[in-house]
Homo-oligomer: A and B are copies of this chain.
Amino acid sequence: MAGKNLTIRDIAKLAGVSNASVSRALTGSCGISEKTRKHVLKICERERYTANSIARSLAVRKTRLLGCIVGSVDNPYMGQLACQIELYARHKGYNLILCNSTNKEEHEVQLMELLLGRQVDGIIITPTSRASYTALEHFLARIPVVVIGNTITNLRYNHVTVDNFKGTFLGAEYLVSLGHRSIAYVGYRSESYTHRLRAQGYQSVCETHGVKSLLIENKEAASSIERGYALAKELFSGPFPYTAIFAATDTTALGVMQAADEAGIAIPGDLSLIGFDNISYCALPRINLTTIEQPFSAIAASAVNMLIGTIESPQEGYAQMVLEPSLIKRGTCAAV
């Protein structure tokens, strides 16, 4: 806060009107003649006056500031999401205080507290773990929140998510259409609802088509290239009678790819591989991963709209928005 800035009174004096008129001109409210509004605005322009939004926020008890808690924006998934959220929120007249929880629930709680103190009008959060939700619980009564992604069953808060079942369904159907009769699913995390839905989509297709299936579980708390690699390495160490792998996430797929490369398994020659999320890594040369896309900008827009909606007209209950995923065909899947 620069300090030596002009105030509304200074402008009022310069314009020869009252500060109320200046305020009216600035906020675009009625009860002021077009003539004086023009006049005041001109003076503001000339003096390079920018209204102090802190004072305004205090007066109207709204900051038009949104809190955004993500795991970590250096993760490509979060980066893509956060970028879209910021852009869309700004488009709607809101700015973002961005916070990285570094995937720690205790940080999430601290951050909610902090954002509350900052008087943000609402919060968008991508929870780290199941425990995040119990922490969230405390804040829901105090401030509008929307959750992106849903890792628990029966989430009774505002949230937006992709249709995870549909995503793996789409992908598995694609593999089947390519002639695959045996598809393994790698990286399933049983505590995650997202993962359960994804596994169900895959399994449903396998059942319908009588495709041989296999669910390889990831017992760790998160998906990563390293986990995908470890899981696949184990898998490839014995006989592996599958022609395709559906990875629970893109990062998992990347790990699988690495293990396959090391094991001399050609992709897509010997093995088709498909991921989920369409993070920016997928489109890279040499990677070129076929995957299921999360519509980041639609997710961002829906989340922001939902949040602003509940900010501007608070209501009991909650909303849920499920967006369509789509298949992105690249180079890692081939006909058998």
8 Å CB contacts to B: which residues of A98-126?
A: 98-100, 102, 113-114, 116-121
Query: Which one of B1, B76, B97, B102 lies within 8 Å of A119 (CB-CB)?
Result: B1
- Separation of A229 and B286 alpha carbons in the complex (Å): 13
Contact with B along A54-94 (1 / 0, CB 8 A): 11011001110100000011111011101110110010000
How near does chain B come to A52, taking the closest CB pair, in angstroms? 6
Question: A30 at the A/B interface (Cβ < 8 Å)?
Answer: no
How near does chain B come to A285, taking the closest CB pair, in angstroms? 3
Binds B, one of A160-168, A202-210, A250-258: A250-258
Contact A55 B53, CB 8 Å, known A86-B98, A86-B99, A280-B74 = no
Q: Which residues of B contact A97 (CB under 8 A)?
A: 65, 95-98
Q: Count A-side interface residues using an 8 Å CB cutoff.
A: 60
How near does chain B come to A124, taking the closest CB pair, in angstroms? 13
Q: Are A255 and B87 in contact (CB under 8 A)?
A: no
Contact A53 B119, CB 8 Å, known A58-B58, A73-B73, A83-B100 = yes
Question: A47 at the A/B interface (Cβ < 8 Å)?
Answer: no
Identify the closest chain B residue to A49 (Cβ). Answer: B117
Query: Which one of B117, B119, B254 lies within 8 Å of A285 (CB-CB)?
Result: B254
When all copies of this chain in the complex are counted, the total is: 2
Query: Which one of B58, B116, B284 lies within 8 Å of A284 (CB-CB)?
Result: B284
- Separation of A118 and B120 alpha carbons in the complex (Å): 13
8 Å CB contacts to B: which residues of A138-153?
A: 142-143
Q: Are B73 and A76 in contact (CB under 8 A)?
A: no
Q: Are A284 and B225 in contact (CB under 8 A)?
A: yes
How near does chain B come to A175, taking the closest CB pair, in angstroms? 22
Q: Are A90 and B95 in contact (CB under 8 A)?
A: no
Question: A261 at the A/B interface (Cβ < 8 Å)?
Answer: yes
Max count, chain B CB within 10 A of own CB: residue among A54, A65, A72, A84:
A54
Contact A74 B72, CB 8 Å, known A58-B55, A100-B86, A143-B2 = no
Q: Which residues of A contact B (CB under 8 A)?
A: 1-3, 5, 50-55, 57-58, 61-63, 65, 72-76, 78-80, 82-84, 86-87, 90, 95-100, 102, 113-114, 116-121, 142-143, 225, 229, 254-255, 257-258, 261, 280-281, 284-287
